[in-house]
A and B are shown apart, each in its own frame.
Chain A
Amino acid sequence: MSVKLVFLGKLADLAATPEKNMAGPLDWAGLLDALPGPLGEMVRGDKVKLALNGTVLADKTALSANDGDEIALLPPVSGG
């Protein structure tokens, strides 16, 4: 078991993968440690949101994920 990261939109390009598995438990500091460079900078910024198991976190720095959880990294949207 592990924590699954799902990168959406351009974050998938920056991560060079749409998904990545990491050992749990994983908190905000642990997530940033695992995402170096421009990807980490974007995730740290206030435009990227996080969802844990399909629920968007009001405060992403309060992230607390365990093995079996899925974290989605959501950049600004553009639909229609």
Chain B
Amino acid sequence: MAKDVRLLAEPFVPGALVGPFTNAHPGLGGVCTFVGEVRSDDDVEALELSHYEPLTLSGMNALADEALTRFGLMGILIVHRVGEMRPGEPIVLVSACARHRRGAIDAVDFAMDHLKSDAWFWKREKRGGEWNWIEPRAEDHSDLARWR
């Protein structure tokens, strides 16, 4: 189970996935996990992620393969939601395990930077009953540039 990549249309519980993922890699030196959730600190009522079936999952798989190789991982888990989400719901989960901590930590950082601005997702949010598309931010692109 070196690579586990999933697109989910329903809410998920990160811990229920990270436990089995970690257990599947006996002998690991470190596991690093990031979970992104819909922020609830402002007036966002809902968030919706759309994707394009022919590109999105294959792109996530290619990203996982690149991270496995680049950081010498034992395994990587990438889970991304699509559909409508409420504040507090998980959007994304990346977990990486490796012999040594640095590879695991860097791989998660790398995967998140690519999922934010180089993966086939489109995000819109609902405030005051109105849906608005989220434009990519300049920081997202500079974050991505760190890995080139």
Contacts and interface: CB of A to CB of B under 8 A. Distances in A.
Interface size class of B (residues with CB under 8 A): 20 to 34
Q: Is the interface of B mostly helix, strand, loop or mixed?
A: mixed
Contacts of A75: 122
Interface of B: 36, 49-50, 52, 54-55, 58, 80, 91-92, 112, 115-124, 133-136, 140
Given A8-B50, A9-B50, A9-B122, A78 B135 contact: yes
Interface size class of A (residues with CB under 8 A): 10 to 19
B87 to A, nearest CB: 16
A77 interface: yes
A79 B54 contact: no
Interface of A: 6, 8-10, 13, 51, 53-54, 56, 70, 72, 74-80
Given A9-B50, A51-B55, A54-B55, A79 B116 contact: yes
Given A51-B54, A54-B54, A72-B52, A78 B112 contact: no
A79 B135 contact: no
Nearest to A70: B54
A77 B54 contact: no
Contacts of B119: 77, 79-80
